[in-house]
Amino acid sequence: MRFYEREQATRQLREIQEASLQAAQMAVVTGRRRCGKTQLILKATAGIPTLYFFVARKAESLLCSEFAEQVHRKLGLTHLSDVSDFRTLFKALMAASKEQRFNVIIDEFQEFSTINSNIFTDLQSLWDRNKDRSRICLFLVGNNNAQTTRIFDGQHTPLNGRVTSWIKLDEISTPTLKKILKKANPDYKPQDLLAMYAFTGGVPKYVNELLTAGAVTSEDIVKFACQEKSPFLQEGKLLLIEDFGKEYTIYFSILTCIANGISSRSLIEEFLQKEIGGYLTRLETDFHLIRKLTPLFSKSGSKNVRYVIADNFLRFWFRFIYKNMHLIEQAKYNELRRTVQKGFAEYCDLSMPIYFTKQLEEAGEYSCIGGWWDHHGDNDIDLIALDEENHRALIAGVARMPKQVNIAHLAQKAAVISEDLANYETEYRALTFENI
């Protein structure tokens, strides 16, 4: 897997290892699954004795048996063959780290909460007693969700205040994605770049999959995603079904509604015939899979709310793949491809405001970016960006071609929020394929 925009993170990981020569280091590395967290750490720790523990959902005794075998093989510790609990294992590692330098990577660290939540308290106790004389470099790898954050940042959690470094890996930026596509396909068209962004969201694993397959045009991306051996067909289930547990069907149903434009709580409840308030809250605050949007300038507590899926690929997957799982079960891949192809251009068009929002965020010129719509949804503005310090506002209509954006009409729409824009020098602009 190739690494993009990971130079700074690699330097940080190596600096953390150097710091462990003086005192033990506890570093947390988070990010979306498929962002390359594990491979990056393994690359950055190459050449130094490193233990890699993956926390699968199995009995603690089985996990520790597997971990102990690796400790014996890499560090030569022979007295752990019958260890059955993580406390004993970690105690031995802390003791050994006083005599020799090594790294420990614990991947999917948050899964300990499903196996034995006392492990966090045990680790904290052993860490506090031994860290000043230890040379261990402990990398704790987790997903970018509330469960991981609470382990370290919760007010009363055992590991609060113990982390010495925190690295969050993001998706590939839009300028880098453009460079990657241009190198792979010098004659790419704007719709090809938009398709790659709308499909992958800049997730490195997905970008690599497309490049390896030579899927560098809008048409080829759909063709590759829908073929029989595509790695993307079951990806949504692989990412989410274990986290959602036995209630995955209702979560999947909600996400399918949102992906297909049923974006308010009342409409989703009407469609599913089920009260979903608690599920929406968990999808937003615990899993970080959806965002609750309100119009820019709306008052706190506004009920004019739309929900969107925060992840581009999952938005695609629930809109096209999960919705058409019956075709996959019947091995009707050509029909699946034709079905997706019919709606993919519209899906990409709907992704354009998201693309331009990310582009503006990366440029760093505006402090607040969003959209605006009235309560009835009859009047809306695709994108508003505010430079609150310099009192500048950008109001943009988003479409494929400049002629599809009527600037005068856009200004008429913005008249409704003229009081909110009174202190801003306002620019009206069309954001189109030319700007991608």
Question: Does the pLDDT value for residue 78 go beyond 90?
Answer: no
Better-predicted residue by pLDDT, 2 or 131 = 131
Determine the pLDDT at residue 35: 94
Q: b/e for 312-332, b at 16 or more Cβ within 10 A?
A: bbbbbbbbbbbbbeebbeeee
Determine the pLDDT at residue 1: 56
Determine the pLDDT at residue 153: 80
Determine the pLDDT at residue 82: 85
Tell me whether residue 259 is in a domain. Answer: yes
Domain end residue (candidates: 312, 330, 348): 330
Determine the pLDDT at residue 147: 80
Question: Does the pLDDT value for residue 349 go beyond 90?
Answer: yes
Encode pLDDT of 16-33 as tens digits.
999 999 999 999 999 999
Portion of the chain with pLDDT greater than 90, in percent: 90
Is 387 in the same domain as 306?
no
Is 325 in the same domain as 382?
no
Determine the pLDDT at residue 145: 81
Complete DSSP assignment for 143-176: ESSHHHHHHHHSTT-TTTTT-SEEEEEPPPPHHH
Tell me whether residue 112 is in a domain. Answer: yes
Are 406 and 372 in contact by the 8 Å Cβ rule? The answer is no
Average pLDDT of the segment spanning 370-398: 94
Is 23 in the same domain as 164?
yes
Closest CA to 40 of 170, 162, 153, 144: 170
Tell me whether residue 250 is in a domain. Answer: yes
Closest CA to 394 of 384, 381, 379, 407: 384
CATH number of domain containing 280 = 1.10.10
Average pLDDT of the segment spanning 361-367: 97
Determine the pLDDT at residue 80: 83
Q: Using CA of residue 99, residue 104, residue 110, residue 113, what is the dihedral sign?
A: negative
Encode pLDDT of 89-134 as tens digits.
999 999 999 999 999 999 999 999 999 999 999 999 999 999 999 9
Q: b/e for 80-103, b at 16 or more Cβ within 10 A?
A: beebebbbebbbbbbebbeeeebb
Question: Which residues, in sequence order, are bridge partners of residue 129?
Answer: none
Is 246 in the same domain as 160?
no
Is 157 in the same domain as 28?
yes
Whole-angstrom distance, CA of residue 340 vs CA of residue 38: 32
Is 323 in the same domain as 368?
no
**Alpha helices by DSSP H, 277-401:** 277-281, 312-316, 325-329, 333-363
Average pLDDT of the segment spanning 306-318: 97
Range of the domain at 417: 364-435
For 371, phi and psi rounded to 5 degrees?
-125, 180
CA–centroid distance for 235 within its chain: 14
Encode pLDDT of 261-303 as tens digits.
999 999 999 999 999 999 999 999 999 999 999 999 998 888 8
Average pLDDT of the segment spanning 201-227: 97
| Domains: count for the chain | 3
Determine the pLDDT at residue 121: 94
